[in-house]
Amino acid sequence: MRRIVSSLLLVCAGLSHAQRVPTMEEVISLRTVGGVSLSPDGKHVAYTVQTTDWSENRYDIEIWLSKNGTKPFQLTTTSKGSSTNPAFSPDGQWISFLANRGNKNQVHVLRVEGGEAWASTNEEEGISAYEWHPSGSKFIFRKSEKEDKTKKEREKRYGGFEADDKEFTIQHLWMVDFKPDGLDPSELPCYETVDSLKVKAGCIEWPKATRLTEGKFTVSGFGVSPDGSKVAFSRQPDPLINSSSKADVSVVDIETKEITGAATNPGSDFFEDWSPDSKEILFSSSLSDTTSHFYKNAKIFAMNLATKVTRQLGKNLDEDLGGMTWRATGIFTSVWNKTNRVLYRIEPTTGDHTVHLQHPDQIFGVSFSKSGDRFAMTGRNGDQLTEVFVSNTKAPVAEAITDLSSQLKNWKTASSEVISWKSKDGTTIEGVLHKPRYYDASKKYPLLVVIHGGPTGIDTPTPVPGSVYPILQWLDKGSLVLRVNYRGSAGYGEAFRSLNVKNLGVGDTWDVLSGIDYLDSKKMIDRSRMGCMGWSQGGYISAFLTTNSTIFKAISVGAGISNWMTYYVNTDIHPFTRQYLKATPWSDEAIYKKTSPMTNINKAQTPTLIQHGEFDRRVPIANAYELLQGLRDKGVKSELIVYKGFGHGINKPKERLAANWHNWQWFAKYVWGEEVELPVGK
């Protein structure tokens, strides 16, 4: 009897909360979880939550805290800015974070026991990264060097100019005392004499930072040894984006400030973590490979600092490795395994790996307690938004402490199905297929193909796919959406990631078209109503399809590459093209021709929307104008929308909303034959 009653109730509940498709604003307004940090004793979890501030047209990141597994609450409120990088003091009494509250980015601290936050540092240049020293009495942090004064004087006389790749600001490591007495020195002045307002020596002052590293290099990642005596850090000759391929790992002694080289392979070496006994460091490395690291696996090594002997760990893990944590309980990292992301444990002694936890389906950031007995993480199942979980390490079971997914209650979210098919060359390709809510197998549906960037990105099951594409709205309109993990995507091993080398566009097109053929073979799609779109590398593949196929009614190219030659000379990552095409345009023009959308511009027929950020350096806007002009010259319907002030991503809510609408309008017009006005006003 009781059972019947409860199921009746469920029916009622279902009826009273009819499901609806959310507005684009609602999708953009979703609160999302970011980084997570577990207290040293494993009891409290701090994590970041991003919300959308429409009035300021920005995303706001603030820190939330769950104490002893209880309901989380918002901990920080930085008005007009965000609070990021939460970390617990070694004694667990303090939570620190980075925020700009009117005086550059500084380390702020607040008591876990209560009270507002105050700035613990006062660095003129601002702080870009920090870590607690194990003693709890210091911070190790990274900041930029002071700006060169002569540059300003030069500008005064000669105006603005800059030598390409020669002018940059390097960052170094510093150390500063943390004074826990809760006094903000700026609020406690103290004077020398009656007639002087000079701050007197010996008064309460801002702690003075001392320099740990110096020289003609810049510091990227770093970590303090558990015994507090050293800092290991990744370094590269300059902060230019391509110099990361020359990254090495060094160690500085906190006492003597002496720097010793550790990992110095010709390819990139990045510091990962310290061994719990402070004797070894863990680092990822491309070894001597400087010509294929964009798509090949980075490997993991442990180095004994005394002997400099290295040994490789996790040899049989066929993915790009990084993000490692080393505790007494093992070495841990989460790694893509097809559309799942699994937490692996690597045995430090043997280097063998085992699956440590694979629920939820996708595990992202992980933070361990000091002993390594507990961990917190972010992750999700295919039908969830990312949540924060906690678990013990020995017999791990993920317990959610957040319920961000409750935001989706009553929403018509996307169902996800991972499907696979054989591509033209026989390679198995996977994709995520989203079907409309009340899918009818007897009908043929319009199809929209959405292609991810990277190329080493990946698409996975998710209830709210999107970014700049109104996918939930399209599903609700009665369309199928296919997101293809084309060759070169992450999650399928190094060989798969290498399949698009010297084959960009061509192989990718096979993968997309064979996916469509597969759905067609299942009689699922209406081939007369198909569209295709993507951003960055996905924009490139979409542009390639504009000029190399005629099966789509509409295409949207977001920040895409139109011509690898144009791209190669204009982008900030020149080696990318050289690695994938194995040539410069001057050494092998043919490969550039073979892979560039512009080569076949004369064959273009598909109405194409081009979306591009005004100041995109990764894929310079010249690519957009080149495709636009080609299409215009050929009389193909096309339109370019420039997002003012943006780089490679549309990272503000209002323009993201606009980009969604622009796609909605374009596909409505050319796939469904509907004119949609951009709603303006209230």
Partner 1 sequence: MKVTVKYLIILFVAFTSNAQTKKPIVASDLMKIATANQIQISRDGSKAVMVVTRKAVKNESEYYYTRHLYMLDLVGSTEPYQLTFGDKNDGQPQWSPDGKQLAFVRMDGEKSQIWLLPLAGGEARAITKAEYGAGQPRWSPDGKKILYSSNIPIYAIEGLTPWPYERPARALGDEPNFKLMKADEKKKVSTSPDGTLEDVRAWLAKNNSENNPRVMMRQNLQGELNLQPDEDFSHLFVKTLDTEEKAVQLTKGYQDFQGASWSNDGKAIICHSRVYNIHPDRERDNDLWVIDVETKSAREFLTWPGYSVSNATYSPDGTQILFSATNVQNRHATQNQMAVMTAAGGKPQLLGASLDRDISGATWSSDSKTIYFTAETEGDIPIYSIPAKGGTVTKILGKSSGVSDFDVRGDKMVYALTETRNPWEIYLYQGKDKSSRKLTRLNEDWIKDKLVSYPEEFWVTRPDGSKVQYWVMEPIGRKEGVKYPTILNIHGGPSAMWGPGGFSMWHEYQLETSWGYTVVYSNPRGSGGYGDKFKKGNFKDWGAGPAGDILAALDDASKNHACIDKDQLVVEGGSYAGYMVAWIISHDNRFKAANAQRGVYELSTFLGEGNAWNLVPSHFGGFPWDKETKALLDSESPYSYVSNINTPLLIIHGDQDLRTGVIQSEMLYKSLKILNKPVEYIRYPKEGHELTRSGNPGRMMDHLLRVIEFFERYVKHPEVAPATQK
**Smaller CB distance to partner 1: residue 78 or 405?**
78
Residues 43, 376: Cα–Cα separation, whole Å: 10
Q: Does residue 388 touch partner 1 according to CB under 8 A?
A: no
CB 211, CB 204: distance < 8 Å: no
Query: Rounded to the nearest whole angstrom, what is the least distance from the CB of residue 178 to partner 1 in the complex?
Result: 15
Query: Rounded to the nearest whole angstrom, what is the least distance from the CB of residue 62 to partner 1 in the complex?
Result: 9
Residues 424, 513: Cα–Cα separation, whole Å: 9
Query: Rounded to the nearest whole angstrom, what is the least distance from the CB of residue 185 to partner 1 in the complex?
Result: 10
| Segment contacting partner 1 by CB under 8 A, of 73-81, 416-424, 623-631, 674-682 | 73-81
Tell me which of 118, 206, 411, 615 binds partner 1, using CB under 8 A: 118
Query: Rounded to the nearest whole angstrom, what is the least distance from the CB of residue 76 to partner 1 in the complex?
Result: 6
Instruction: Identify the CA nearest to 233 among candidates 197, 257, 209, 199.
Output: 257
| Segment contacting partner 1 by CB under 8 A, of 4-12, 114-122, 350-358, 554-562 | 114-122
Residues 410, 391: Cα–Cα separation, whole Å: 30
Tell me which of 21, 30, 75, 464 binds partner 1, using CB under 8 A: 75
SS3 label, residue 137: coil
Instruction: Identify the CA nearest to 320 among candidates 354, 358, 294, 344.
Output: 294
Q: Does residue 533 touch partner 1 according to CB under 8 A?
A: no
Instruction: Identify the CA nearest to 530 among candidates 607, 593, 457.
Output: 607
Query: Rounded to the nearest whole angstrom, what is the least distance from the CB of residue 83 to partner 1 in the complex?
Result: 9
Query: Rounded to the nearest whole angstrom, what is the least distance from the CB of residue 106 to partner 1 in the complex?
Result: 12
**Smaller CB distance to partner 1: residue 40 or 360?**
40
Tell me which of 36, 117, 388, 429 binds partner 1, using CB under 8 A: 117
| Alpha helix positions (H), 200-336 | none
Tokens representing 525 are 């799609």
Query: Rounded to the nearest whole angstrom, what is the least distance from the CB of residue 371 to partner 1 in the complex?
Result: 23
Instruction: Identify the CA nearest to 236 among candidates 249, 223, 251.
Output: 249
Query: Rounded to the nearest whole angstrom, what is the least distance from the CB of residue 77 to partner 1 in the complex?
Result: 5
| Segment contacting partner 1 by CB under 8 A, of 111-119, 163-171, 427-435, 560-568 | 111-119
Query: Rounded to the nearest whole angstrom, what is the least distance from the CB of residue 195 to partner 1 in the complex?
Result: 9
Tell me which of 28, 112, 231, 321 binds partner 1, using CB under 8 A: 112
120 DSSP assignment: -
State the CB neighbour count (10 A cutoff) for residue 575: 16
Would you give the binding string for partner 1 spanning residues 322-351, x where CB under 8 A is met? ------------------------------
Residues 532, 450: Cα–Cα separation, whole Å: 6
Query: Rounded to the nearest whole angstrom, what is the least distance from the CB of residue 184 to partner 1 in the complex?
Result: 6
List strand residue ranges (DSSP E) for 398-511, in order: 399-400, 415-422, 428-435, 445-451, 480-485
CA 249 to mean position of chain CA atoms: 23
Long-range CB contact pairs, 78-82, < 8 A, 24+: 80/56
Tokens representing 470 are 């109104």
**Smaller CB distance to partner 1: residue 46 or 499?**
46
**Smaller CB distance to partner 1: residue 88 or 496?**
88
- For residue 177, the cross-strand partners are 138
**Smaller CB distance to partner 1: residue 116 or 255?**
116
Query: Rounded to the nearest whole angstrom, what is the least distance from the CB of residue 199 to partner 1 in the complex?
Result: 10
Task: Enumerate residues 393-432 that contact partner 1 by CB under 8 A.
Answer: none
Query: Rounded to the nearest whole angstrom, what is the least distance from the CB of residue 166 to partner 1 in the complex?
Result: 36
Query: Rounded to the nearest whole angstrom, what is the least distance from the CB of residue 592 to partner 1 in the complex?
Result: 55
Task: Enumerate residues 182-201 that contact partner 1 by CB under 8 A.
Answer: 182-184, 186-191, 193-194, 197
Q: Does residue 124 touch partner 1 according to CB under 8 A?
A: no
Q: Distance of CA 337 to CAs 341, 342, 455, Å?
A: 6, 7, 17
**Smaller CB distance to partner 1: residue 111 or 437?**
111
Q: Does residue 77 touch partner 1 according to CB under 8 A?
A: yes
Q: Does residue 55 touch partner 1 according to CB under 8 A?
A: no
CB 67, CB 49: distance < 8 Å: no
DSSP string, 229-258: SEEEEEEESSS-GGGGGG-EEEEEETTT--
**Smaller CB distance to partner 1: residue 46 or 525?**
46
Tell me which of 8, 17, 54, 115 binds partner 1, using CB under 8 A: 115
| Segment contacting partner 1 by CB under 8 A, of 115-123, 132-140, 349-357, 610-618 | 115-123
Would you give the binding string for partner 1 spanning residues 162-181, x where CB under 8 A is met? -------------------x
Tell me which of 4, 13, 73, 679 binds partner 1, using CB under 8 A: 73
**Smaller CB distance to partner 1: residue 101 or 315?**
101
Q: Does residue 110 touch partner 1 according to CB under 8 A?
A: yes
Tokens representing 595 are 């892979």
Q: Does residue 67 touch partner 1 according to CB under 8 A?
A: yes
Would you give the binding string for partner 1 spanning residues 585-624, x where CB under 8 A is met? ----------------------------------------
Q: Does residue 376 touch partner 1 according to CB under 8 A?
A: no
Tokens representing 410 are 């009553």
The 94-100 sheet, strands edge to edge: 83-88, 94-100, 105-111, 118-119
Residues 319, 337: Cα–Cα separation, whole Å: 8
Total residues contacting partner 1 by CB under 8 A comes to: 31
Helix axes 537-548, 622-633, angle to 10 degrees: 10
Tokens representing 289 are 């490979």
| Segment contacting partner 1 by CB under 8 A, of 105-113, 362-370, 505-513, 577-585 | 105-113
Angle among Cα 63, 67, 68 to the nearest 5 degrees reads 150
Tell me which of 38, 65, 627, 658 binds partner 1, using CB under 8 A: 65
Query: Rounded to the nearest whole angstrom, what is the least distance from the CB of residue 540 to partner 1 in the complex?
Result: 45
**Smaller CB distance to partner 1: residue 73 or 161?**
73
CA 449 to mean position of chain CA atoms: 22
CB 320, CB 289: distance < 8 Å: no
**Smaller CB distance to partner 1: residue 105 or 339?**
105
Q: Distance of CA 191 to CAs 195, 199, 200, 206, 285, Å?
A: 9, 5, 5, 15, 53
Residues 609, 375: Cα–Cα separation, whole Å: 45
- For residue 111, the cross-strand partners are 94
Which residues fall within 8 angstroms of residue 62, CB to CB, at 6 or more apart?
48, 49, 51, 74, 75, 76, 77, 78, 82, 83
CB 120, CB 127: distance < 8 Å: no
Query: Rounded to the nearest whole angstrom, what is the least distance from the CB of residue 65 to partner 1 in the complex?
Result: 6
Burial 175-211 (b: 16+ CB within 10 A, else e): bbbbeeeeeebeeeeeeeeeeeeeeeeeebbbbebee
Q: Does residue 74 touch partner 1 according to CB under 8 A?
A: yes
**Smaller CB distance to partner 1: residue 39 or 334?**
39
Binding site for partner 1 (CB under 8 A): 65, 67, 73-77, 95, 101, 110-118, 181-184, 186-191, 193-194, 197
